Amino acid sequence: MRLVAGVDSSTQSCKVVVCDAETGALVRSGSATHPEGTEVHPDHWWDALQAAISAAGGLDDVEAIAVGGQQHGMVCLDEHGEVVRPALLWNDTRSAQAALDLIDELGGPQAWVDAVGLVPVASFTVTKLRWLRDHEPDNARRTAAVCLPHDWLTWKLSGAASLDTLVTDRGDASGTGYWSPATGEYRRDLLELGLGHDVVLPRVLGPSEAGPTTPAGAVLGPGTGDNAGAALGLGAVAGDVVVSIGTSGVACAVADHPVGDVSGAVAGFADATGRFLPLVATLNAARVLDAATRMLGVSHAELSVLALAAPAGAGGMALVPYLEGERTPNRPDATGAIHGLRLETATPAHLARAAVEGMICGLADAVDAVRALGTPVERIILIGGAARSEAVREIASAVLGLPVTVPEPGEYVARGAARQAAWVLAGGDEPPAWELTGAVETRADPTPEVRERYASVRDMTAPRP
C-alpha cells in the first residue's frame, strides 16, 4: 500500500492524517493544539505539526505530503528567512481601517472585485500588510518575503533552504488580495499598495504539481487553504454547499467560473482542483457554543441536550453572535447581544437554544449570499468541530430549511490535503476517486420564523467598549 499524508494547520489545532493513496482509507492520525489568540508566532505551528506527526506514528513510510491551513494569515520573513513578527491571523480585526483605506485608494469595491475577485476586509492578507506598513514601519521594511501559514509549513518541511523555494497554490493565493483567480497572476501593484514595497512571493503551483521534497525524500504537494482542502476532501460537486462550523463559520461551493460580489459578502476564491470557490466566512461559529458552555457551566454534550429541550425560536429569545466582532456582515467592532429575554424564557435551555440558533442564523445568511450569486444549493454538507453536536445538526436543518448531510466525524481538510498528495503521486487531470462513506442525513421541520426574528434584531448590537 502506498501512503500519503495530509495536514490541517487550523486556527485551534494541527491535525495529521495518513491515508491509503489509492482508496483514501484512513490508516492513522494525530493532532496537537495551537495557542489561543489572533496573533501567533509560526514556530508554534511548527511545534504542533511535529507533535501531531509523532502522534500519527511518524511519516517515514509516507511518499507524499500536502499541507492545508487556515487562510489569510500574514507570515513575514526577512532576507534570511527568519520570521519578522508573530503572524496576524484571519480573525484579527486590527486591519479594519486599512481595508477601508485600500478600498478607497483603488477606486472602490468594484475595482477590487475586478482585480482580485474580492472586496478587502480585515481578514485578508493585503490589509494586514497595510496595517504593518502604517503601524510597524521597521518590520514592514525588514520584510523580504510574505507567505501564508500553509506555505510556511510546506517550506519548513522542505528544509527552508532559501526564500526562492517558497510555494503555494491557487486556493490559498486567492485569499491574499494580491492574486487574481481570473488571470492566475499575482497583482504585485496591490501587494505594493498594501506593504509599500515589492517582496518575494511563493511560486503558485498547479493543483497536482509537485513541490520540493522533504529531507527524507517525500514529495510535497502545493497544499491549499483549509476551505479548499475541505471541498477536495469531501469531493464536493456543483450543487453542494459546504457549511463548516469550526473557529470560522463558512459556506462555500465549487464553481466552474470566477465569481465576484461587489457587496463584499462573497469572496471569489479559487479552489484546489483548478476551479473556483465562492465563499462566505463569519468570525463567530463554534466558539459561540464554547462561550455558551462557559456561561451555563455545562459540557458540549449537555449544551446540545439543553438546546433541544427548548422550543424552536427559544420563546422569542434571539442571540446575535458577534462575540469577536464580525466579518460578514462587516462589523469588526460589533459585540454580541441577547434580545427578547423574559422571565419565563430565562432558563438554561432557552439560552442554549438561542445560542445555537443565533450562530446558525449567521450561517444561513451566508448560504443565502452564495445562492444569490447564482450558485445552486441542492445539498448542504455540514463539517467542522461543532458538527459533532446533535443540536447543531438538527437546528441547522430547521433554520436552513434544508436536509443536512453530515459525513462521519473526521478531519476533512487534512483528508483533502492527503487527496491532493495522492493526486501529485498519481498524476492525471482529476484527483484519485476517494469514496466518502458513512454520511448521515438530518431532516428537521423548517423554522423560518427563527430567521425572521433574527433578521429583525441582528443590527441592534452595541459597539465594542
Ligand X SMILES: O=C(CO)[C@@H](O)[C@H](O)COP(=O)(O)O
- Is 310 or 369 the residue whose CB approaches ligand X more closely? 369
Q: Is 247 near ligand ADP (CB under 6 A)? A: yes
> Which of 101, 169, 172, 226 is the catalytic position?
226
Among 371, 388, 401, 436, binds ligand ADP (CB under 6 A): 388
The string of DSSP codes covering 64-91 is EEEEEE-SS-BEEE-TTS-B-SPEEPTT
CA distance 262 to 108: 9
Task: Establish whether 71 is an annotated binding residue.
Answer: yes
- Three cell numbers written together for 67: 499541507
Q: Is 72 near ligand X (CB under 6 A)? A: yes
CA distance 64 to 220: 6
Interface stretch with ligand X, choices 26-34, 184-192, 215-223, 243-251 (CB under 6 A): 243-251
- Counting DSSP H helices and E strands in the chain, the numbers are 15, 23
Residue 232, C-beta contacts closer than 8 angstroms, at least 6 positions apart: 224, 271, 272, 273, 416, 417, 419, 420, 431
Cα–Cα–Cα angle for 388, 416, 324, rounded to 5 degrees: 50
226 catalytic, yes or no?
Answer: yes
Grouping H, G, I as helix, E, B as strand and the rest as coil, residue 320 is: strand
Restricting to residues 8-47, which ones interact with ligand ADP according to CB under 6 A? 10-13
Give the one entry of ligand ADP, ligand X, none that residue 290 binds, where binding means its C-beta sits below a cut-off of 5 to 8 angstroms depending on kind: ligand ADP
Interface stretch with ligand ADP, choices 5-13, 111-119, 140-148, 153-161 (CB under 6 A): 5-13
Interface stretch with ligand ADP, choices 105-113, 321-329, 337-345, 381-389 (CB under 6 A): 381-389
Give the one entry of ligand ADP, ligand X, none that residue 289 binds, where binding means its C-beta sits below a cut-off of 5 to 8 angstroms depending on kind: ligand ADP
Q: Is 289 near ligand ADP (CB under 6 A)? A: yes
- Is 174 or 442 the residue whose CB approaches ligand X more closely? 174
Give the one entry of ligand ADP, ligand X, none that residue 71 binds, where binding means its C-beta sits below a cut-off of 5 to 8 angstroms depending on kind: ligand X
Task: Establish whether 50 is an annotated binding residue.
Answer: no
- Is 36 or 445 the residue whose CB approaches ligand ADP more closely? 36
CA distance 260 to 354: 33
- Is 246 or 332 the residue whose CB approaches ligand X more closely? 246
Closest by CA to 247, choosing from 366, 89, 396, 381, is 89
Interface stretch with ligand X, choices 177-185, 223-231, 290-298, 431-439 (CB under 6 A): 223-231
Residue 256 DSSP symbol:
S
Shortest Å, Cβ 246 to ligand ADP: 3
Q: Is 246 near ligand ADP (CB under 6 A)? A: yes
- Three cell numbers written together for 27: 490508516
Binding characters for ligand X, 9-38, by CB under 6 A (x = yes): -xx---------------------------
Q: Is 123 near ligand X (CB under 6 A)? A: yes
CA distance 279 to 265: 8
- Three cell numbers written together for 161: 533552504
Shortest Å, Cβ 72 to ligand X: 5
Query: Cell 478531519 appears where?
Result: 411
Grouping H, G, I as helix, E, B as strand and the rest as coil, residue 172 is: helix
Q: Is 335 near ligand ADP (CB under 6 A)? A: no
Shortest Å, Cβ 388 to ligand ADP: 4
Closest by CA to 442, choosing from 251, 280, 243, is 243
Interface stretch with ligand X, choices 76-84, 98-106, 114-122, 247-255 (CB under 6 A): 247-255
Closest by CA to 172, choosing from 197, 196, 146, is 146
- Three cell numbers written together for 291: 462561550
> In degrees to the nearest 10, what's the CA dihedral of 460, 290, 230, 328?
10
Q: Is 248 near ligand X (CB under 6 A)? A: yes
- The count of other CB atoms within 10 Å of the CB of residue 159 is 12
Q: Is 287 near ligand ADP (CB under 6 A)? A: yes
Burial class (CB in 10 A: 0-12, 13-18, 19+), 185: exposed
- Mind telling me the catalytic residues? 226
What residue ranges bind ligand X (CB under 6 A)? Answer: 10-11, 70-72, 90, 123, 175, 225-227, 246-248, 250, 279, 281
What residue ranges bind ligand ADP (CB under 6 A)? Answer: 10-13, 246-247, 286-287, 289-290, 300, 384-386, 388-389
